[in-house]
Amino acid sequence: MLRRAPRRTHRIGRGRQTAVAYALLAPSLVGVLGFLLAPVAIVLVLSLFDWKLLSTPEFVGLANYQKLFTDSDVWHSLLVTVYYVVICVPGTTILSLLLALLVDRKLRGMKYFRALLVIPWMATPVALGLVWSWIFDPGRGALNQFLGVFGIDGPAWLSSPVLAMPSVAAVHIWQFAGYNMLFFLAGLQNIPRSLREASSLDGASPVAHFFTITLPLLRPTMLFVLITNVIGSFQAFDTIFVMTEGGPGDSTEVATYLIYDEAFRKFDFGYASTISVLLFAVVLIATISQFVYFERRTTYEVSG
């Protein structure tokens, strides 16, 4: 692509084109370098300092990291986060794939069904968290009232240390299943017609066809859905902030919540930065390992 450029641009000087390019890039360069990359560098530096509210920052080397490795709150919070991710990612992925298979047909009114399923994606997470708190309310909430119709005495969903996390995670799945369905739907519709119809001729069962042909061809979509969901659910904050505030006890205290708490309630910026670095490392490892896994397993490509 670099080679094609001179053909188009021989009329103007190369220097001028560079100047124009950097002028166009200037605002986003400030944004990317100043507000995305510089903060990453700063958080790494901050993690080496002891800096509490009003005190002068003091360089302590790796002391924060030593504290980190023996801090049971941090490890607990990391486990809680992983637990949340482990419910949300497979839940959202499987449900959205099933929905995509369901709506990938030519039926009357299908586009309205698709649209309705996507609606929860746009909902303000904070408002959603409040709405679902009301649904989960043990006394008068819709869920337990509904269970009551069948004579079932529903539990206190959000104040039970066992049920709180699955309940909060269910809201994530509810919100994003329809949205991710769109990606799988696009993936399904990219599969060449000949491959879609082959199975009905050779008499393979629909289930066998799905696992041997459809699913492998959806691999690029699968990678995209998995990666965006893993990154997204590792950062869950808004719904948890309003639904459980990390509780009961610390049973839903995910890493993001712990960082917020350390930095903006306890004003321990140094240590909060150290936890941020840990979370960043975990997200990076999770993302890169998915790339590597899919890279190794993808043996052929179908260009759509």
Partner 1 sequence: MRLRIFTYAVLVAGCLFAIFPYFLTVLTAFKGPGQLSETMPWEPGLPPSTAAFERLFNSGFGGYLVNTALVTAGITLGQVVFAILAAYAFARLSFPGRDALFWVYLSTLMVPPVVTMIPLYLMMQKLGLVDTWAGLMLPTMLGTPYAIFLLRQFFRGIPADLEDAARIDGAGRVRTLVSIVLPLSKPILVTVTTLAVVANWNSFLWPLIVTSSEDKRLLSVGIALFKGEIGVDYNAVMAGSLIALAPLLVLFIVFQRFIVRSVAVTGLK
CB 280 to partner 1: min, Å: 5
Do 188 and 101 contact (CB within 8 A), yes or no? yes
CB of 249 to partner 1, least distance (A): 19
- Within 93-122, the residues that bind partner 1 by CB under 8 A are 99, 102-103, 105, 107, 111, 113-122
Per-residue contact flags (x/-) with partner 1 for residues 30 to 69, judged by CB under 8 A: xxx--xxxxxx-xx--x-----------------------
Binding of residue 185 to partner 1 (CB under 8 A)? yes
If one asks whether residue 159 binds partner 1 (CB under 8 A), the answer comes out as: no
Number of chain residues interacting with partner 1 (CB under 8 A):
97
| 256-275 positions binding partner 1, by CB under 8 A | 256, 259-260, 263-264, 269, 272-273
State the residue for tokens 């995305």: 36
Touching partner 1, residues 128-157 (CB under 8 A): 128, 130-132, 134-135, 137, 140-142, 145-146
Is residue 164 within the footprint of partner 1 (CB under 8 A)?
no
Shortest separation between residue 211's beta carbon and partner 1, angstroms: 20
Backbone angles phi, psi at 167, to 5 degrees: -65, -45
Distance CA 208, CA 270 (A): 54
Burial class (CB in 10 A: 0-12, 13-18, 19+), 73: middle
Q: Judged by CB under 8 A, does residue 246 bind partner 1?
A: no
Q: Determine, following the binding rule CB under 8 A, whether residue 200 of this chain makes contact with partner 1.
A: no
Q: Is 82 in the site for partner 1 (CB under 8 A)?
A: no
Min CB(230)–partner 1 separation in Å: 11
Does residue number 22 form part of the binding site for partner 1 (CB under 8 A)?
A: yes
Q: What is the rounded distance in angstroms from the CA atom of residue 167 to the CA atom of residue 136?
A: 8
Q: Return the number of the residue (6 or 151) whose C-beta is nearest partner 1.
A: 6
- Out of 234, 240, 251, 253, the residue judged to bind partner 1 by CB under 8 A: 234
248 lies in the binding site for partner 1 (CB under 8 A): no
Stretch that binds partner 1, among 58-66, 80-88, 193-201, 223-231 (CB under 8 A): 223-231
Q: Considering only residues 49, 178, 251, 253, which one is a binding residue for partner 1 as defined by CB under 8 A?
A: 178
Question: Closer CB to partner 1, residue 27 or residue 203?
Answer: 27
**Of 168 and 263, which CB lies nearer to partner 1 in the complex structure?**
263
Select the residue interacting with partner 1 from 5, 86, 208, 285 (CB under 8 A).
5
